[in-house]
Amino acid sequence: MSALGHGALYGAVLIAVMLSTVAVGIWFERKFAGRMQSRLGPTIVGPMGLLQPLADVVKLLQKEDIIPAGADRALFNLAPVLATIFSLGVAAVLPLSPHMIAADLDIGVVYMLAVGGLMVVPTFMAGWASNNKFALLGGMRAVAQSISYGVPLVLAVLVPVILSGSLSLAGIVRWQSEHHWFALWPVIPGLPAFALYFMAMLAEANRIPFDIPEAESELVAGVTTEYTGAKFTLFYLAEYVHTLVGSAIGAALFFGGWDGPFAPGLHWMVAKTLALFVVVYWVRWTLLRLRSDQLMELCWKWLTPIGVALVLIAAAWVQFAPQGAL
Amino acid sequence: MGHINDTLRALWTTLRTAFRPTSTVQFPAVVRPRGERYRVSFALPDDENGEMACIGCLTCERICPSQVIKVKPGVKRESPVTGKKRAYTDDFVIDLSACIQCELCVQVCNNDAIVMVREAEQPMFEREDLVLGFARLRKNATDRTRSWGHGTMLQESQEPAKVEKKAPAVKAAPAVAAEPRQPAPRSPSRAAEPPEDGARARAREGARARRGGTDVSATLAFGVVAACALLSAVFVVRAVDLIRAVLWLGITLIATAALYAMLGASFLAGVQLLLYVGGVMTLMVFGVMITRRHEGIAPTATDTVRPVRGAVVAASLFGLVAAAIVNTDGLDDAPARALAPLTLADLGRSILVEHVLAFEALSLLLLAAIIGAVVIARRRDPGPLDEPTEASR
Amino acid sequence: MQSAWLSALAFLVVSTLLGLGVLGAAKALRVRARKDSRIKHLTYECGEQPDGLAWMQFHARYYVVALFFVLFDVEAVFLFPWAVVLRELGAQAFIAAVSFVVVLMLGWFYVLRKEALQWQ
């Protein structure tokens, strides 16, 4: 099969799977959040409210398309599409099983950081094109937050790269399946690096407790304030896909991806991804939002030096660990 | 440490709650048992002789805080049941729309003649429909369930009595399913994969690249991407709006990344996206955003010095880059002899062995840039202002 | 390697199609207002009349944050090739990178002391 056909086929299948996962994920989140708050969650549409996300999508697609006065129409329309492309595009380098990967780039890690980092473009674009003060403020805050947490994210990702000596996500997973999962061994750069990655991933996806860019209580809805209908749907989708793909990459980098006994690799990868996805919701419905200044202080004063230290510890481990302890 | 501890405790609390039964139920399908003292509407019941108990004494009308009770006392006459003389009431109206359900009227009634009931009235369209007349109040007495309290009992319970405190029963939390621990299957004997034959793989890539070099589709792709880069570069210069200019620049930078990828320089392509599109572009956007206004910057036709100055700078930059390319060795037969793609390991070796001095010097350069940024930022810092320093008018 | 990039490109094209597809589906499905009104297109400002353009001057600290991001990312980017050859080159590469990082962390320390990244 040609490379283009391979990418397109995997893209179509993987995107369809991710979209269904997001749909079920939204239902699960509402149900889970309900239970955490001693409520029932959705119950009416379908059995146990399972069809609720479908109803939501149909509702959203039916909404009138309103472009605010004074908006930059071209950029306003372009931003949601770009957000979709970049959030889905990261998944191209996801290794689902040893031979299931849409685009086995030898620099998969850099690709994932780069394309994920591009999310700042549609975010700012939407905020700026809306001609709305809340949207612009939200956009600026989101971009500042994303790039700040980009630094600990890169440092956290460097740890598995150093330990495995590979920049390909499949290569990193293969190393882990031959040796140890990095979250388990070596536990000192591994586990804290995973915690660092997880926090940075939440911040990049603007998830609670790092959701100050769309803080409802002060910024209405951040960059999506002026968006309605399908364009809002795309932003919403992009946010969930970003979280889902972030969980999958966390599973691949730190929890051995497809590696696991008894079941085929794909099952393990999916199970690990979903487990991390659930943790994201769990955190989201538990913690409170951080203030802007706390956010920046946490990132630059604590996470960045910790990340640098972890990178050095990982390098020292590679250098000085006895051969058997690898 | 305190924060981490608090965070973990919060997470534990929500998880525990998630596995407990909910406090809410699906209302129309499931109706939870109401409290014993639940009360919503009123009724005028009979006394023990089967007559209406109310004697029209007006105590309830006087006590009602929202003054929703209107009683019309009737004349005293002989009771047909007992033969004794007693008072009657002719009319009794309660405006339920303003009632606060305080139950004071029930509490003060010495005859237990007004009580509350547990079933609510039907929702109505008009406020006036919630005014309960005599007939409805009498009907409620037979149709609906009486609530817990009545006058005699409530007055008795006013007497100070010793309250027995019962300790709340400790409910055992349902066992939380332990998270499945993933076993870590490790077989120390698993042999490491033999290292890939790097040289052969590279030769294969090189051959493919060579074939690709003469491929029409590759040339076409190069043409499209290069045209994208050039066109968007033109738009950068032409754009009146600064933000749009920066976004066009983003497309130029992405197209450059695509060119790197097509040349087999994967890492450079990724870095181009990561640093230039993600970082430098953001820097420029923020640079524009800290200026005052984006309007009024449009170049005017009368300004002739600026375009000329710009053209001179652009031409000399072009000359510089062109000279550098022309003077680079080994590019004469470039189309025919594609270079073997450089792997990341080659790059790392080159940085850390041949150019290690430059690598270390780079850290000093970055340090200088950081210090410079701090100095500039502090000089321009206009003081403790809030986020938007000024909303444009 | 290039073929992997082609696959990635095809993946991105499919994601683009999805984005455009959703917009297209909405175009077919969505309701249209019988009568347009100016008020509907006002930007949301909590019910007030929108006051001027949304454009406002932002604080310079946004710029500083972006600057530090670029600097620290440049650092990280140089560490990627290093990470790949670390095992092979041994102690020499380790020491080179440690000194590289330590010099940069001096800069970080300076930033902290001067409170250049203080947000409030």
CATH code of the domain in which B45 resides? 3.30.70.3270
| Residue from the list C3, C66, C108 with its beta carbon closest to the beta carbon of B282 | C66
> Which residue did the predictor score with more confidence, A212 or A241?
A241
- CATH number for the domain spanning C62: value is 1.20.58.1610
Is A243 strand, coil or helix? helix
| Whether the predicted pLDDT of B390 surpasses 50 | no
Find residues 13-72 of chain B whose CB sits inside 8 Å of chain C.
Answer: none
Q: For residue C115, is pLDDT > 80?
A: no
Tokens encoding C21: 């597809």
Cα–Cα–Cα angle for C46, C52, C56, nearest 5°? 90
Range name among B212-216, B285-289, C5-9 with the lowest pLDDT average: B212-216
Asked if C39 is an interface residue toward chain A (Cβ–Cβ < 8 A), one would say no
> Given this model, what pLDDT does residue B33 score?
83
Return the closest-CA partner of residue A134 out of B243, A126, A63. Answer: A126
Strands B115-117 and B41-43, how do they pair? antiparallel
Q: Where does the pLDDT of residue A165 fall: very low under 50, low under 70, confident under 90, or very high at 90 and above?
A: confident
Q: State whether A114 and B244 contact (CB < 8 Å).
A: no
Judge whether B332 lies within some domain: no
B319 and B371: one domain?
no
B237 and B316 co-located in one domain: yes
C73 with A151: Cβ contact below 8 A: yes
Q: How far is A105 from chain C (nearest CA, A)?
A: 5
Q: How large is the average pLDDT for residues A124-145?
A: 87
Residues of C in contact with B203 (CB under 8 A): none
Q: How close C23 gets to chain A, by Cα (Å)?
A: 6
Q: What is the pLDDT of residue A10?
A: 86
Buried b (16+ CB within 10 A) or exposed e, A161-187: bbbbbbbbbbbbbbbbbbbbbbbbbbe
- Give per-residue pLDDT as tens, A290-309: 888 888 888 888 899 999 99
User: Which residues are paired to B115 by β-bridges?
Assistant: B43
> What value does the mean pLDDT of chain C take?
82
Instruction: Identify whether B80 is part of a domain.
Output: yes
Number of domains observed in the structure of chain B: 3
> CB distance B271–A287 less than 8 Å?
no
Q: Is C27 part of a structural domain of the chain?
A: yes
User: Is A121 in Cβ contact with B281 (below 8 Å)?
Assistant: yes
Highest mean pLDDT among B103-112, B161-170, C34-43: B103-112
B345–C contact, CB cutoff 8 A: yes
Q: What pLDDT, on a 0 to 100 scale, did the predictor assign at position B128?
A: 85
- Burial class from Cβ neighbours inside 10 Å (0-12, 13-18, 19+) for residue B150 reads buried
Confidence of residue B174 (pLDDT cuts 50, 70, 90): very low
Quote the pLDDT of residue B148.
84
CB contact under 8 A, A148 and C69: yes
What residue type is assigned to position A56 of the chain? D
A contacts of B19 (beta carbons < 8 Å): 35
CA distance B374 to chain C (A): 6
Is the pLDDT at A195 greater than 70? The verdict is: yes
Q: Rounded distance, CA B220 to CA B226, Å? A: 10
Which pLDDT belongs to residue A178?
86
C 74-113 residues inside an 8 A Cβ radius of A? 76, 79-80, 83-87, 90-91, 94, 97-98, 101, 104-105, 108, 111-112
pLDDT at A152: 92
Instruction: Say whether C25 and A230 touch across the interface (CB within 8 A).
Output: yes
* Percent of chain A's residues with pLDDT above 90: 21
- DSSP letters along A89-117, please? HGGGG-EEETTEES---TTHHHHHHHHHH
Model confidence at B330, in pLDDT bands (50, 70, 90)? low
Q: Please indicate whether, in this complex, the C-beta atoms of B290 and C63 are within 8 angstroms of each other.
A: yes
pLDDT at residue A276, rounded to an integer: 92
Task: Tell me the shortest Cα–Cα distance from C30 to chain B, in angstroms.
Answer: 30
pLDDT band at B190 (very low <50, low <70, confident <90, very high): very low
In this prediction, what percent of chain A has a pLDDT beyond 70?
98
Share of chain B above pLDDT 70, in %: 75
Distance, CA of B206 to CA of B213 (rounded, Å): 10
* Tally of CB atoms within 10 A around B138: 17
Per-residue pLDDT, B256: 92
pLDDT for res C34 = 81
Determine, yes or no, domain membership for C120. Answer: no
Amino acid at B283: L
Closest Cβ–Cβ partner in C29, C80, C120 for A61:
C29
CATH number, domain containing residue B293:
1.20.120.1200
Chain A residues whose CB is inside 8 A of the B264 CB are none
The interface predicted TM-score (ipTM) is: 0.86
| Residue B184 is assigned to a structural domain of this protein | no
Q: Which of B234, A74, B348, B292 is nearest to C53 (CA)?
A: B292
- Domain contains B145: yes
Say whether residue C53 is in contact with chain A using an 8 A CB cutoff.
Answer: yes
Q: Which of C100, C113, C120 to mutate to test the interface with B (most CBs of B within 10 A)?
A: C100
The span from the CA of A93 to the CA of A103, in Å, is 5
**Domain-located, residue C119:** no
Interface of B with C in 294-313 (CB under 8 A): 294-295
Average pLDDT over residues B44-59: 88
Model confidence at B93: pLDDT above 90:
yes
Number of domains in chain C: 1
Question: Domain of C14?
Answer: 2-114
pLDDT of residue B197 exceeding 60, the answer is no
Please report the pLDDT score of residue B387 as a whole number: 47
Counting Cβ atoms within 10 Å, is residue B267 exposed (0-12), middle (13-18) or buried (19+)?
Answer: buried
Closest Cα in chain B, distance from residue A49 (Å): 12
Number of helices followed by number of strands (H, E) in chain C? 3, 1
Quote the domain boundaries for residue B284: 203-326
pLDDT average, residue stretch A161-168: 88
pLDDT (0 to 100) of residue B322: 92
pLDDT at B116: 92
Split at pLDDT 50, 70, 90, the class of A72 is: confident
Say if the Cβ atoms of C85 and B349 lie within 8 Å.
yes
Whether residue B209 and residue C78 make contact (CB cut-off 8 A), yes or no, is no
Pick A140's closest partner by Cβ from C13, C58, C91. C58
**Whether the predicted pLDDT of B313 surpasses 90:** yes
**Range B25-34, long-range pairs (CB < 8 A, 24+ positions):** B25/A40, B26/A40, B26/A43, B34/B118
Contact flag C70-B374 (C-beta cutoff 8 Å): no
User: Can you say whether the dihedral through the CA atoms of A88, A89, A92, A93 is positive or negative?
Assistant: negative
Q: How far apart are the C-alpha atoms of C75 and A155, rounded to whole Å?
A: 10
Which of A266, B111, B164, B382 has its CA nearest to residue C60?
Answer: B382
pLDDT at B162 (0 to 100) = 59
Q: Which residues contact A104 (CB under 8 A, 6 or more apart)?
A: A93, A95, A168, A170, C4, C7
CB A70 within 8 A of CB C53: yes
Q: Which ranges constitute the DSSP H helices of A90-186?
A: 108-117, 120-129, 133-164, 169-178
With contacts defined as CB-CB under 8 Å, which chain C residues touch B282? 66, 69
Nearest Cα neighbor of A222 from A207, A242, A202 is A207
In the structure, what pLDDT confidence band is assigned to residue A140 with cuts at 50, 70 and 90? confident
Quote the CA–CA distance of A247 and A242 in Å, as a whole number: 9
Q: Any CB–CB contact under 8 A between B374 and chain C?
A: yes
* pLDDT at position A307: 92
CA distance B380 to chain C (A): 8
Cβ distance B344 to A106 less than 8 Å, yes or no, reads yes
